[in-house]
Structure 1
Amino acid sequence: MKEVVPLTEGWSLHHNGNPLPATVPGCVHTDLLAAGEIPDPYTGLNEREVQWVGRRAWTYARDLAPADTAADSHERTDLVFDGLDTAATITLDGRELGRTRNMHRRYRFDVTGRHGRLHVEFASAYDEAGSVRALTGERPNVYPEPFQYIRKMACSFGWDWGPTLVTAGIWRPVRLERWSTARLAEVRPLVTADDGTGRVELHVAVERTGSGAGRPLTVHASVGGVRQRVTVDGTRAVVTLDVPDVDLWWPRGYGEQPLYDLEVTLVEDGPQERRLDSWHRRIGFRTVRLDRSADEHGTGFTFVVNGVRIFARGVNWIPDDTFPSRITPERYRTRLTQAAEANVDLVRVWGGGIYEDDAFYDTCDELGLMVWQDFLFACAAYPEEQPLRGEVEAEARDNVVRLMPHPSLVLWNGNNENLWGFRDWDWEPALEGDSWGGGYYLDLLPRIVAELDPTRPYTAGSPWSGSWDHHPNDPAHGTHHSWEVWNRRDYAEYRDSVPRFVAEFGWQAPPAHATLRRALPGEELAPDSPGMLHHQKAEDGNGKLNRGIARHFELPEDDFDHWHYLAQVVQARAVAAGIEHWRAHWPVCAGTVVWQLNDCWPVSSWAAVDGDGRRKPLHHELRRVYADRLLTLRPGPGGPALAVINQGAALWRATVTLRRLRADGTVAGHTTVEATAGAREVARHAVPRDLVPDERSGKEFLVADADGLRAVHFPVPDKEFAYPAPRYDVEVVPAGDGGSVEVVVTAHTLVRDLLLQPDRLGADAACDTGLHTLLPGEHVRLRVRGAGAVTADAARAALFCVAQR
């Protein structure tokens, strides 16, 4: 049987001629940080102090003893790297084993009988990119860094939410594999389901040793109690398993996520069968397709899973750490659980990051989170000449095969914004006919997917209208990225259009207060303080934040806490405005994918969960607007409209109470509406004219309540509304679970967007809910865990609301 020996110990990193202890998997920055050679680049302005690291060459080394690579009872010993970042030369005992230039591939070298000093010498990524650029010529991109000339995590060169920390290192596991006769070189399961029967068509490739050529080999496979075996014809075999009465895998909210163990074993035939190698994955049976049919509204983009049409409730995912070797399986599970808790059912892995570790996709399989996987191209024109073209093809083949067993994976996407950039960002004339990546997205990648994984749909890019007959970002055709609103407009203008599928949109806000305090120690916080500006990477980011606030509120002067609160409120309101509007137009609009779920360091950004893992108010708002049942009041030219949105499988009969209220809480009019929304349907109702608030007065608003859900409509910006000075009582009571408390807030006036910031009670504290609007006499119970003992005064100091200064 094959023997696997991890090589995690004994590594050193050579720094100025001196060896430092090295952690593998890891990277140069984390090793230098552990040795005290650099400051934490996430803190203060330290990012600037470590720029030299990415411009140096680095060497990792360790010894391979004779026993490590000796044949012993095996014929062959391979040195296997799951990830090298990025341009590396590998030598053993002074002799070169090979060279690499791709962070996103796996590598294998025959080291049978060889031993000595193993060196992995990394060139500077800048030097490698410069060498490739000299061969291919210049190509445009959206950032002044050369990430399109090297197959490396693009955002390590910085982004409008990320630091410039250009890494190098052995970032994924490395091991020795000892084997004889033959090994499983590739296992590619095509998993389908039809009329209650699951089918696994296993395409198996084997590698043989010299002595193994011609030996009789058999592949044994089993799943769901069904077993099959087939003889290997040379180096290939296909095994088909039909599993009756399978339980289907469903996205979360649509059903369960049963997973089946798929076992593959390679054996040598003979008087006594000899096991040579084995492979195991968990799979799920389901069907997935994209409905891209033309209709009277344009060209659709609707996911259909197991025959059910789905409004995708999505978030975009970026690497959860600029140093991805630090992302553990537990951290993946924590962050993806936060997504599931926000009622998310789709996670888009964005094309400027990495193909994530299997632990990411395993967790998505279990949680029912559909995965939209970008190929790794983002916001640049990519040369299609060698040496990049061969790397792109090898990378794509490697990762399609690695990831295709996961039932959560529902879409391959060719790139992020490059088709749009070619047509709309002045790339086309600048290129003057040079290659830019179109051949990858429209030819190479779809051919690879069709060959290796025909069970899943492929789309050429995001955004993409489906053909050059329409603008790549045409909202009426295919996927759309909505960035004009954040960049230039008020969030109310999300309601001006109904795209077929909104694959990116979002609004910025600063991270939690405790995150800022940790990341900017000793700084007197202000929107424009040095650390705040350094941890704001978007072009004119603070200007856009301030203009977003000022459209609705008086912009606070010399009051950072209130500015911080209002920025987070506007972020939550903005995203909610878009989702409520687009969900109300299902099935014309078939999904929203918020930019973004997570951060890779502490920064002001579009994330719902900040760089320290703390939830912003946006996270709680996503849980509300992504729930199966949603009540909305959407402004319109004829007054607000009521939408009763039901994404559940059961009929929803709702008695909706509509109240026209004055600022002092008195009722100016009320009625009830009997609304019926069928499964996966939206019921729309006009608000009676006599209940439409008088926007000229600035003293009236509308409230809709049904089944514990609430929607509010204020016809004027907050700064024009006659809010009373908010008055409320605060009481703290034990929650009854021994580790939490409940902060009970009872309103005596209208209290708009009440928010408890739990990290002000304790750095590790968390609250179960976000923004609340209370009417006079109403109360809300806010459960806080991780804060220890909390007084009413401390709780009051952590509470914020509109009109409270």
Structure 2
Amino acid sequence: MLDVTPLTEGWTLRHDGAALPAAVPGCVHTDLLAAGVIPDPFLGLAEAEVAWVGRRDWTYETTLNAAAREHEQTDLVFDGLDTVAEIRVDGQLLGRARNMHRSHRFDVTGLEGPLAVRFLSAYTEAEAVRERLGERPNAYPEPFQYLRKMACSFGWDWGPTLVTAGIWKPVRLERWSTARIARVRPLVTVEDGRADGRARGHVELYVDVERTRVEAELSVTARVGGVRASATIDGTSGLVRLQVPDVALWWPRGYGEQPLYEVELELHGEVGPLDTWRRRIGFRSVELDRSADAHGSGFTLVVNGERLFARGVNWIPDDVFPSRITRERYRTRLTQAAEAGVDLVRVWGGGIYESEDFYDACDELGLLVWQDFPFACAAYPEEQPLRGEVEAEARENVVRLMPHPSLVLWNGNNENLWGFRDWGWEGRLAGDSWGEGYYLGVLPRVVAESDPTRPYTAGSPWSGSWDHHPNDPAHGTHHSWDVWNRLDYAAYRSEVPRFVAEFGWQAPPAYATLRRALPGERLAPDSPGMLHHQKADDGNGKLERGLAHHFALPEGGFSEGDFDRWHYLTQVNQARAVATGIEYWRSHWPVCAGTIVWQLNDCWPVTSWAAIDGDGREKPLYHELKRLYADRLLTLQVRDQRLTVAAVNQSADPWSSSLTLRRMSVEGGVVAETTSELAAGARAVARTPVPKELEPAGPKEFLVADADGLRALYFPVPDREVPYPRPRFDVTVAPGEVTVTAHTLVRDLLLQADRLAPAASTDRGLVTLLPGEQVTMAVRGWETRGDAAAAAARAALYCVEPTR
């Protein structure tokens, strides 16, 4: 049998002639940080102090003993090298690597002595390729498109510029004889799906082997779901087919269960077993309905025949040093997504092909995954040496991720088709290659040949062909960024895209995160550390202009003394902005078939669009997503110049309930009230016009809709025009909870638990209370006892204040 020896111990990193301990997997930055050579680049302004690291060459060293023992061949296998590397044993060149997204295998049979992996600076390689192939436009001033490396390590509008190098994935020795399994490509399909959620499953395992003995007779045996089948290997390949007569279907979360089946494949030679391959699979079908209709052309995911409104989030690498992301950290972050009602995660194209740990968690949690190929916001050359690397990485990763039922869509790139048409690239390129051949040629061919069970789309946004603008909201996927960059979030209601793959609004991270990241700094919106941890172009200006549409701002703008208020209001605005978009677009199902919020997570502490900040703390937006992405959503919308109640029902059961509408004054009185019946079919939206006498008249009134414990509010004017009363409420504490009882209207009450203790958290975000109403918030990580605790809790509570 194949013998595997991990090579994780005994590595050193050469630094200015000295040998520092090195962690493998890891990277140069984390090794230097552990040795105390560099400061933590996440703190203060230290990012700039470590920029030199990405400009240097580095060498990792250990001792290799690849004696064959009882085996005929020994391979040195790197699952990931970041990025441009030269590998030598005892001074003998084994080979070179130039792609972070690929694995590399070298025959080291009988070799021993010093093993050195020398990394060339990514800048050196990228600049050399740029010099050879010519300048190409991109959205950022770094040369990330000239090599196959995680683009956002060169910085982004939410990320630091920390250009990494290192052995970022596991490395090992594999010893084997006669033959080994080189690749298994599993095609999993279903037919005859039944109402009870079961079906007939088919598994085809396409097996490639590598041999040391050409003449040896080989066979493979596979098992899944109690079914066993065998086949012979003809040369270097074979095919095993299994039919599983009664399988349980794998469903997205909220639609059913997530049963997983173990597949085991064993390679046999004349003298017994030689190698094994094991994975978990799920049985389900997936289609992408892009058919034309009266509204344009759609983009609707269909799983097991069920049409879905995708409740999505965009995912970026959870750490700018991805080797630090553990299996437990993936599980934590993705569980947070599932608990917020998310059912689709888009792995964004400026990052990486995510790990088995990521996909395992998605398989188990029922999270659909849309995986971008790693191309983002740039014109990518299609000449060598890049073209061969692109095809090789695509083939390897498509096959690697195929077993996972959570993977439902391959996407060619992020915003590059749009960029070519709208960002002035076409003229600057003057006919030079820019990536179109990848997105409309190489990648769809690789997917069709390797993984025909899944749909492919050329890019996001993409209208399906050049017959329409790439970002046409009526066709395919749409990215809505004019709203954040130029307009008020109310403009989300100006159009109904078929599928909104990116949109979002910024807010700073939690207060405790800022305190950790900016030690000793007197916080102000424009203090040095705050500005350094704001990477978006004019980000603070957009935040302030976004506030000005809704709130009365201090004369002359926010200052140090107003920081707490600025921090609270920007977080309110983020949650309200995203809510405005999702409520409107969900109310237009099935014309709009999905929203993917930019973004779920952060890779360091920063002001960004994330719902969960760089320290893992949940912003108010995260809690708002729980309401917005629940199976049932109640919302008030203006439709055809009439105020309308929209009852969005994404559950499998009809929704019948009593609906109460109250026209109220801001002082708390009920001006008018009515009760009626609400009825929305399964997976449907019911819309009911609000009676004219219930519509609020002027800034002193608002409308409240209640049904089945859900609530929707409608204020006809911005907050700055609402004559809110001075908020009055009582606060009481009990073990593990804080209770607030309102005596007036209290708009967007928020308990910032991390102000009580850095480790404290709560289960609630923004909540609006009417006079006499009460809310109890669970609090973890803080002792909630006594008068002092009640006073501290009151100090950590924020709400919208009346305009001065």
> Is 1:761 aligned with 2:762?
no
Deviations 1:335-379 (A, max 9, x none): 000100110000000000001110000000000000000000000
Task: Render the CA deviation track for 1:626-655: whole Å, top value 9, x for unaligned.
Answer: 000000012356242110000000010021
Q: Secondary structure at the match of 1:435?
A: coil
Task: Give the partner amino acid of 1:234.
Answer: G
Paired-residue identity, %: 73
SS at match of 1:521: coil
* Runs of 4+ off more than 4 Å: none
Tell me, yes or no, if the aligned pair for 2:738 and 2:784 is still in contact at 8 Å.
Answer: no
The answer (yes or no) to whether the contact 2:504–2:598 under 8 Å persists in 1 is yes
Q: Which amino acid aligns with 1:255?
A: G
Q: Which runs of 5+ in 1 are unaligned?
A: 735-740
Give me the whole-angstrom Cα distance separating, in 2, the residues matched to 1:125 and 1:654.
60
Partner of residue 580, structure 2: 577
> 2:195 maps to what in 1?
none
**What is the alpha-carbon distance in structure 2 between the residues aligned to residue 802 and residue 640 of structure 1?**
24
Measure, in 2, the Cα distance between the counterparts of 1:360 and 1:506: 24
In the TM superposition, what is the alpha-carbon distance from 1:145 to its structure 2 partner?
Answer: 0.1
The 8 Å contact of residues 137 and 425 in structure 2, kept in 1 or not, is answered as: yes
CA distance in 1, matches of 2:59, 2:763: 47
Aligned position for 1:792:
790
Identify the residue that residue 33 of structure 2 maps to in structure 1. 33
Task: Write the distance in 1 (CA, Å) between the matches of 2:267 and 2:783.
Answer: 56
Match in the other structure for 2:196: none
**Which of 121, 124, 147 in structure 1 is aligned with 2:121?**
124
Post-superposition Cα deviations, 1:583-621, rounded to whole Å, max 9, x if no partner, equal 000000000000000000000000000000000000000
Counterpart mapping for 1:293-312 below 5 A: 293-312=291-310
Residues 312-391 of structure 1 aligned to structure 2 (within 5 Å): 312-391=310-389
Per the TM alignment, residue 673 of structure 1 is displaced from its structure 2 partner at its CA by: 2.6
Equivalent residue runs for 1:279-298 within 5 Å = 279-298=277-296
In the TM superposition, residue 788 of structure 1 has moved relative to its aligned partner by 2.5
Q: Whole-Å Cα distance in 2 between the matches of residues 135 and 282 of structure 1?
A: 44
Distance 2:538 2:660 in 1: 43
Q: Scaled by the length of structure 1, what TM-score is found?
A: 0.97
- Aligned mate of 1:481, from 473, 479, 503: 479
Structure 1 counterpart SS, 2:50 = helix
SS in 2 for 1:382: coil
1:679 match: secondary structure: coil
Match of 1:738?
A: none
The residue number in structure 2 matching 1:263 is: 264
Q: Does structure 1 residue 651 correspond to structure 2 residue 654?
A: yes
CA contact (8 A) 1:555 1:563 kept: no
Q: Secondary structure at the match of 2:203?
A: strand
CA distance in 2 between partners of 1:555 and 1:395 (Å): 51
Is 2:737–2:784's contact at 8 Å kept on the other side of the alignment? no
Aligned to 2:22: 22
Q: Specify the SS of the correspondent of 1:578.
A: helix
Could you list the runs of 5+ residues in structure 2 that have no partner in the other structure?
193-198
> In the alignment, which residue of structure 1 is the partner of 2:713?
712
Three-state SS of the structure 1 residue aligned to 2:676 is strand
Deviation string, structure 1 residues 376-396 (Cα, Å, up to 9, x no partner) = 000000000000000000010
Q: Is the 8 A contact 2:503 2:598 kept in 1?
A: yes
Correspondence for 1:588: 591
- Cα deviations by residue, 1:715-760 (Å, 9 ceiling, x for unpaired): 00001001000000000012xxxxxx11010000000000001101
Pairing partner for 1:105 from 102, 120, 124: 102
Equivalences for residues 163-562 of structure 1 within 5 A: 163-195=160-192, 196-209=199-212, 212-269=213-270, 273-556=271-554, 557=558, 558-562=561-565
Offset at residue 131 of structure 1 (A): 1.1
- Note the alpha carbon deviations across 1:236-283, whole angstroms, 9 max, x for none: 1000111011100000000000000000100113xxx51100010100
Question: Is 1:601–2:604 an aligned residue pair?
Answer: yes
Letter in 2 for 1:23: A
Residue identity in the other structure for 2:67:
A
Aligned length: 789
| TM-superposition CA deviations, 1:386-445 (whole Å, max 9, x none) | 000000000100100100110000000000000000011110011000000000000100
The alpha-carbon deviation at position 555 of structure 1 amounts to 2.0
- Aligned-pair distance for 1:559? 1.0
Return the alpha-carbon distance in structure 1 between the equivalents of residues 801 and 127 of structure 2. Answer: 54
Once the two structures are overlaid, the 10-residue window that deviates more, 556-565 or 745-754, is: 556-565
Query: What's the secondary structure of 1:356's corresponding residue?
Result: coil
Matching residue's letter, 1:596: Q
In 2, Cα distance between the equivalents of 1:664 and 1:198? 62
What RMSD over aligned residues (CA atoms) do the two structures have, in Å? Answer: 0.8
For 2:742, the equivalent position in structure 1 comes to 747
Q: Which amino acid aligns with 2:765?
A: G
Alpha-carbon contact 1:635-1:713 (below 8 Å) kept: no
Instruction: Give yes or no for contact 1:40–1:46 (8 Å, CA) kept in 2.
Output: yes
Match of 2:157 among 138, 155, 160: 160
**SS at the partner of 2:248?**
coil
Q: Shift of residue 136 of structure 1?
A: 0.8
Deviates further, 165-174 or 212-221: 212-221
Q: Is the 8 A contact 2:784 2:790 kept in 1?
A: no
Task: In structure 1, give the amino acid aligned to 2:274.
Answer: L
CA distance in 2, matches of 1:119, 1:276: 30
Write the distance in 2 (CA, Å) between the matches of 1:630 and 1:34: 48
